[in-house]
Structure 1
Amino acid sequence: MLRNSAPPLARHGHDPAAFVEIGSLTKVLTGTVLVRMARAGLLGLDDAVEQWLPTPPGSGITLRNLADHTSGLQRLPPGLTGPDPYAAFDGDALQALLGRLGEVTVRQPGQEAEYSNLGYAVLGAALVSAAGRPYEELVREHVLTPLGVDEVTAHPPADRLLGARSLFGGERDRWTLDGPMLPAGGLWATPRALATVVTGLLLERTLGEPAPSWQSAGPLLWHNGATRDASAFTGAVPRTGNWVLVHRLGGSPDRTDKIGLGLLAAGNTAEQDEGERA
């Protein structure tokens, strides 16, 4: 647990310097790549998806729609089953799905938001197509290097990897997220590196205005993420400078969100009380 108002707190073997799964927090990096590439003139936020991928023309889906979850695409690729549901969703499966993208929509593009991991798999593929370079290279060039961060990767060193363990101490199996789903939720990071990313993007605005990947609730900008055995929550209130990052192994993702939101609420209350005393 990291936040602006207290020293880092690590319990039960957690370590701010160990690599952990960040799940859908990957999406804020993917969205930032999109915005940075658009500013560089490599693509347009409102480019149709078929401009960069072999999808049927006239879908009405833009890259911006994919980033802010208004593409109308369903939450997950069809046919996911088993204890490792994403393992079968490889590059060939994505290419086949692109050819019938209109069949996996649940509403018209540009309307009400529908959170979509599938949408971010498609967005990541579009970014790779537009740049002609691997996804991880794009994240490094457009996000990590400008922020001075290097402890974010799809393939962490084995001796610094921290994952959930079974009752008998063995390492639990993890979902396969280093294929097409990587841009949606497959990155690993150290909590200390992720904290630098969050504060750089939301508070210092080192890379400009935050990407449309971030969720908002009043003054709060936030995102969460969950894999089979890990969950994370991060959020910031730019007006006050309060921020928090919570990562947990095991337990309910909802509980992780509640911890993070509670810490932010407490920090904002303390800020208000301090202002009233001044």
Structure 2
Amino acid sequence: MRLACLLLCLWGWSIGMAGAAPVITPPDAGIDALMRDYDGMQPGAAVLVLRDGEPVFRRGYGLAVVEDATSVTPQTNFRLASISKQFTAAAILLLAQDGKLSLDDKVKRWLPSLPAAADAITIRHLLSHTGGLVDYEDLMPATQKAQLHDIDVLHLLESSDRTYFPPGTRYRYSNGGYALLALVVGQASGQDFASFLRQRIFLPLGMHDTFAHQDGVDEVPNRAYGYSRVGGHWQRTDQSPTSAVLGDGGIYSSLEDLARWDAALYDERLLKADWLKQAFTPATTTPEPDVPFYGFGWRLNGETAWHSGESIGFRNVIVRYPQRHFTVIVLTNRDGPEPYPLALKIAHRFLYGTP
């Protein structure tokens, strides 16, 4: 029997050597190894790779809820943090497409209580982080414990009659600018921001489990909670005083819903081509090494359009290669590390076969 097995193995080997196609390691073979630190009984991650609109890799690692050992799955909803900004930008573009506002409107047309220093700031400036607004986080009282909402950001900015620079002259990343954009959406549409997103973007695209989350208003299904490493142990750090601000980072979504969002960025099911193009057109240069340009809610670098999202207990990234119809999404419910380099490694495995 041993001799027969040996002869069979040698025969198969010789056939392979004689001309059979070489065995090619699938490009996803090393991704589990890259994600090893997220697996097991600890806060985890979800990874999606899309090619031509189809998932070629989709997997969850580790735990969405550490306390009851709920595993991360492709349906797990993570707080997107600043990835939310691309939805805020899309809402503004929808309203501009509808003729409800102009990107060159002065923001004070919609939010007249802003101080005189904001007179020259336009919606376009806020979309591209060139408005020069003072960081609202720096205006918060040191003792702030209650959660802020978008309207509270406006009130904080009302008290600061200055800007960092004349609007339109420089780039400075501004969470406050996107909180104000959420309020503009509300004013121009006659709906609250969360309802507008749900009715005009999420539901039409089939993103049924995606919410601009508001405590007491909606429930996030399959929710991941955020954690931080404290004293060698994982501690839940899901919410901070700024976690209820929606326009700059309050959306929860999953791999499955984000695949639908990605698909809508290739056609006109949401925005007409001329309006969609504006989101991915450089609106300003930036001093950041990985971000030569910023569009509207998107960082632009060579062939990629991407954005990260970081908040207490969450680190996420979406990296799109539009010309290749290829996208990598990594969502995590922990305070680090920042997953952008990891997403690039995953992309390179699929696109170039590099480790």
Give the TM bin, normalised by the shorter chain.
0.7 to 0.9
Q: Which has the higher contact order (CA 8 A, sep 6+)?
A: 1
Q: TM-score w.r.t. structure 2 length?
A: 0.67
CA distance in 1, matches of 2:150, 2:87: 21
CA distance in 2, matches of 1:229, 1:36: 31
Which runs of 5 or more residues in structure 1 are unaligned?
Answer: 272-278
Q: TM-score w.r.t. structure 1 length?
A: 0.84
Is contact 2:312-2:335 (8 Å) kept?
no
Name the counterpart of 2:239: 174
CA distance in 2, matches of 1:253, 1:52: 39
CA distance in 2, matches of 1:225, 1:199: 20
CA distance in 2, matches of 1:93, 1:247: 28
Structure 2 letter corresponding to 1:3: V
| 3-state SS of 2:59 partner | coil
CA apart distance, 1:142: 2.6
Q: Any runs of at least 4 consecutive aligned residues in structure 1 with deviations exceeding 6 A, and if so which?
A: 166-170
CA-to-partner distance for each residue in 1:119-141, whole Å, 9 max, x for gaps? 11111111111222111111123
CA distance in 2, matches of 1:49, 1:184: 16
Q: Would the alpha carbon gap of residues 11 and 193 (structure 1) be closer, same or farther in structure 2, given more than 3 Å must change?
A: same
Instruction: Say which of 156, 164, 179 aligns to 1:97.
Output: 156
Name the counterpart of 1:68: 128
| Corresponding position: 1:8 with 2:72 | no
Alignment length, in residue pairs?
Answer: 266
Name the counterpart of 1:133: 191
Name the counterpart of 1:247: 331
Is contact 2:225-2:238 (8 Å) kept?
no
CA distance in 1, matches of 2:147, 2:208: 30
Is contact 1:16-1:192 (8 Å) kept?
yes
Is contact 1:23-1:186 (8 Å) kept?
yes
| 3-state SS of 1:146 partner | coil
Q: Which has the higher strand share?
A: 2
Q: Which has the higher helix share?
A: 1
Is contact 1:177-1:185 (8 Å) kept?
no
CA distance in 2, matches of 1:132, 1:61: 22
CA distance in 2, matches of 1:260, 1:251: 16
| 3-state SS of 1:74 partner | coil
Instruction: Say which of 232, 238, 260 aligns to 1:196.
Output: 260
Is contact 1:70-1:112 (8 Å) kept?
yes
Q: Would the alpha carbon gap of residues 221 and 92 (structure 1) be closer, same or farther in structure 2, given more than 3 Å must change?
A: closer
Instruction: Say which of 218, 222, 243 aligns to 1:160.
Output: 222
CA-to-partner distance for each residue in 1:82-113, whole Å, 9 max, x for gaps? 6x96845346643433434542x212211222
Instruction: Say which of 181, 198, 217 aligns to 2:301.
Output: 217
| Corresponding position: 1:24 with 2:82 | yes
CA distance in 1, matches of 2:153, 2:311: 20
CA distance in 2, matches of 1:17, 1:70: 36
| 3-state SS of 2:138 partner | coil
CA distance in 1, matches of 2:233, 2:346: 33
CA distance in 2, matches of 1:86, 1:225: 22
Q: Would the alpha carbon gap of residues 87 and 265 (structure 1) be closer, same or farther in structure 2, given more than 3 Å must change?
A: farther
How many percent identity over aligned positions? 24
Q: Would the alpha carbon gap of residues 172 and 99 (structure 1) be closer, same or farther in structure 2, given more than 3 Å must change?
A: closer
Q: CA RMSD in A?
A: 2.7
Is contact 2:306-2:317 (8 Å) kept?
yes
Q: Would the alpha carbon gap of residues 77 and 170 (structure 1) be closer, same or farther in structure 2, given more than 3 Å must change?
A: closer
Name the counterpart of 1:230: 314
Which runs of 5 or more residues in structure 2 are unaligned?
Answer: 1-46, 64-71, 280-295
CA distance in 2, matches of 1:176, 1:260: 29
CA apart distance, 1:77: 3.3
Structure 2 letter corresponding to 1:15: T
Is contact 2:134-2:157 (8 Å) kept?
no
Is contact 2:236-2:313 (8 Å) kept?
no
Structure 1 letter corresponding to 2:246: L
CA distance in 2, matches of 1:119, 1:12: 35
Q: Would the alpha carbon gap of residues 102 and 215 (structure 1) be closer, same or farther in structure 2, given more than 3 Å must change?
A: farther
